Amino acid sequence: MDAILHYTALIFVANSLPAKHTAEPTSLKVGKLIISNLLRKAVATS
């Protein structure tokens, strides 16, 4: 459960960061994909 809260917080922070460019940096896109995949796995196993 703590892991789910942790990943949710990461997603919230990532989404609330002001976009400096119209296109997100690739690293941020990859990071969001990884976080969302981990979150799905955490929810599925809980």
| Of the candidates 7, 6, 2, 5, the residue with the CA atom closest to the CA atom of residue 37 | 7
Q: 0.85 exceeded by the pTM?
A: no
Instruction: Please compute, for residue 30, the number of CA atoms within 13 A of its CA located in the half-sphere on the CB side.
Output: 3
Q: What are 2-18's pLDDT values in tens digits?
A: 777 777 877 777 776 66
pLDDT above 60 for 22: no
Amino acid 18: pLDDT: 65
Instruction: Give the mean model confidence (pLDDT) for residues 13-24.
Output: 64
